[in-house]
Amino acid sequence: MSIVTVQLGQCGNQVGHELFDIICSDALEGQRKLYSTASCERFFHQTTNGELVARAVLIDMEPKVINQSISRAAKSGRWRYGESSHFSQKQGSGNNWANGYCVHGPRHRAVVEELVRREVERCDRLAGLMAMMSVAGGTGSGVGTYATQCLRDIYPKSFILNHLTWPYGTGEVIVQNYNSVLTLAHLYQLSDAILVHENDTVHRICSQLLNIKHISFGDVNGVIAHQLGSILQPALTADSHGVYSRNPLGELVSALTCHPEYKLLSVCTIPQMPSSSMAYSTFSWPSLLKHLRQMLISNTKMEEGIDWQVRPPAGSERTRSLTGPSFNTSLANLLILRGKEVYSAETGGFGDPALYTSWLSSEEAFNLWKSPVSFNKYEKCATLVSNSQALLRPLDNMVGKAWNMFASRAYIHQYVKFGISEEDFLDSFTSLEQVISSYGQLN
């Protein structure tokens, strides 16, 4: 089963490149034939002379980043992008979602669809589509939303996962909250699951866990790619009978996002450390999983600064809804363990019904994937993909800021110019308030 990735905009193309790079080097590491075969089949196709070519379509409205990604991939010597599987224009969308969604998207619809169709036809079996983009800019968010809509039209029965990079709270793009609101509201209707990385969180991981002094976008993208890779690389699922799962996206969404009102997924991975100290570190599954569980319930996205005071509410507290605001209630969790002695790992702590909302039993809410193969040079690696309240606060902030701006009608004329009306804004706000309210009701 193969996944076709669609990289959109500057961010999508940078993160996408990092992802393929990590997946490729991880797949080719050591003698792990089954794993390597499964991984390569999933993300690459092989040319007659054995070259690995990413199953990816690169789309941007300006050429610089795409050219960079293509040449960097070719330079790696391990893999490359397809010669003609990219499309770029000369002029970006200028941070304007409306420009991407109403102008660039429709204008280039045929080309984009054709590129994706070619890549899909190259797959023996299509496991699904993954669109990668940021929500802040104009191309990733606007064209990305439009492209997702096209994909949904053409492949109504395929699994579609959107990977979104949320911008820093401040300083990237001033209209980022408008663009984010419009993107999320539209994608919520189109996508099967929306996997989110927040730049602020990843930035903190870079500085506090990886000890990087001068953090570049490359560092940030590297962390995102590592976490994504640890989700997407082959793993054994409960029902896969010792064979690497053939339906990665299908099983991901079936485990986490069956409910149409809850589609936001957050990720945390443990351990993460500078590669230089990896040689001197050993990990035990009990301690990794203990930390990861506390990260989940206290909503901490990294090992540093976990609040150990947060505890799941006892049964009696639950009914009286005395749950402290700091406790992060989950709807569903997927735990992915990779590496040594993975079969001995005790994961009962994640099946605790107290972690979950009352209306879903923990058997349905908790899923576990394992792979005895170590990932990206980490001897052991645990990743938790969580459909929980973790993104509630950032989402609420984002909508709140956008709403404040909208109340003053600031910047609206820039969107009206391209055909997005105030009504469209209101619709988007309404549907996101619905999402916020749904997540708020989990506990």
Q: Interface residues for another protein in 40-69 (CB under 8 A)?
A: 62-65, 68
Nearest distance from residue 65's CB to another protein, in Å? 7
Is the CB of 34 or the CB of 307 nearer to another protein?
Answer: 34
Nearest distance from residue 239's CB to another protein, in Å? 5
Question: Of 110, 154, 174, 278, which one interacts with another protein (CB under 8 A)?
Answer: 174
How far is the C-alpha of 404 from the C-alpha of 218, rounded, in Å?
A: 33
Is the CB of 50 or the CB of 348 nearer to another protein?
Answer: 348
Is residue 170 a contact residue for another protein (CB under 8 A)?
Answer: yes
How far is the C-alpha of 27 from the C-alpha of 256, rounded, in Å?
A: 26
Does an H or E element contain 394, and which?
A: helix 392-407
What DSSP string describes 213-245? SS--HHHHHHHHHHHHHHHHS--B-TTSTTS--
Q: What angle do CA 367, 241, 257 make, to 5 degrees?
A: 30
Is the CB of 77 or the CB of 156 nearer to another protein?
Answer: 156
- The residues that bridge with 8 in the sheet, in sequence order, are 59
The answer for residues whose C-beta is within 8 angstroms of residue 246's C-beta and 6 or more apart is 1, 125, 127, 240
Does an H or E element contain 401, and which?
A: helix 392-407
> By CB under 8 A, how many residues form the interface with another protein?
90
> What are the Cα distances from residue 387, in Å, to 89, 144, 165, 333, 373?
36, 23, 16, 6, 26
Is the CB of 6 or the CB of 334 nearer to another protein?
Answer: 334
Is the CB of 307 or the CB of 359 nearer to another protein?
Answer: 359
Contacting range for another protein; rule: CB under 8 A; set: 76-84, 90-98, 314-322, 374-382? 90-98
Is residue 71 a contact residue for another protein (CB under 8 A)?
Answer: no
Nearest distance from residue 236's CB to another protein, in Å? 8
Nearest distance from residue 118's CB to another protein, in Å? 17
Question: Of 91, 189, 211, 284, which one interacts with another protein (CB under 8 A)?
Answer: 91
Here's the x/- map for another protein, 412-441, by CB under 8 A: it reads as: -xx--------------xx--xx--x----
Q: Which of residues 369-408 bind another protein (CB under 8 A)?
A: 372, 399-401, 403-408
Q: Which of residues 139-158 bind another protein (CB under 8 A)?
A: 157-158
3-state secondary structure of 425: helix
Is the CB of 106 or the CB of 307 nearer to another protein?
Answer: 106
CB burial of residue 235 (10 Å; 0-12, 13-18, 19+): buried
Nearest distance from residue 322's CB to another protein, in Å? 18
Q: Which of residues 291-330 bind another protein (CB under 8 A)?
A: none
Contacting range for another protein; rule: CB under 8 A; set: 93-101, 144-152, 180-188, 271-279? 93-101
The span from the first CA to the last CA of the chain, in angstroms, equals: 37
144: nearest Cα among 118, 126, 165: 165
Is the CB of 92 or the CB of 229 nearer to another protein?
Answer: 92
Characterize 134-168 residue by residue with b for buried, 16 or more Cβ atoms within 10 angstroms of its Cβ, and e for exposed.
Answer: bbbbbbbbbbbbbbbbbbbeebeebbbbbbbbbbe
Is the CB of 221 or the CB of 294 nearer to another protein?
Answer: 221
Does an H or E element contain 193, and which?
A: strand 193-198
Residue pair 244/36 in contact by the 8 Å Cβ criterion: no
- Beta strands (DSSP E) in 199-321 are 264-270
Q: Which of residues 335-354 bind another protein (CB under 8 A)?
A: 341, 343-344, 346-348
Is residue 360 a contact residue for another protein (CB under 8 A)?
Answer: yes
**What amino acid is encoded at 89 in this protein?**
Q
Nearest distance from residue 426's CB to another protein, in Å? 8
Q: Which of residues 209-268 bind another protein (CB under 8 A)?
A: 212-218, 220, 236-237, 239-243, 245-247, 250-251, 253-255, 257-261
Nearest distance from residue 24's CB to another protein, in Å? 23
Rg value, the chain, Cα: 21
What DSSP string describes 130-192? EEEEESSSSIIIIIHHHHHHHHHHH-TTS-EEEEEEEPPSSSS-TTHHHHHHHHHHHHHHH-S
Is the CB of 113 or the CB of 200 nearer to another protein?
Answer: 200
Is the CB of 241 or the CB of 279 nearer to another protein?
Answer: 241
Is residue 107 a contact residue for another protein (CB under 8 A)?
Answer: no
Structural tokens at position 405? 């701006």
Q: How many CB atoms lie within 10 A of CB 284?
A: 12
Is residue 172 a contact residue for another protein (CB under 8 A)?
Answer: yes
> In terms of DSSP bridges, do strands 380-388 and 264-270 run parallel, antiparallel, or are they unpaired?
antiparallel
Nearest distance from residue 28's CB to another protein, in Å? 19
Is the CB of 171 or the CB of 309 nearer to another protein?
Answer: 171
Is the CB of 64 or the CB of 377 nearer to another protein?
Answer: 64
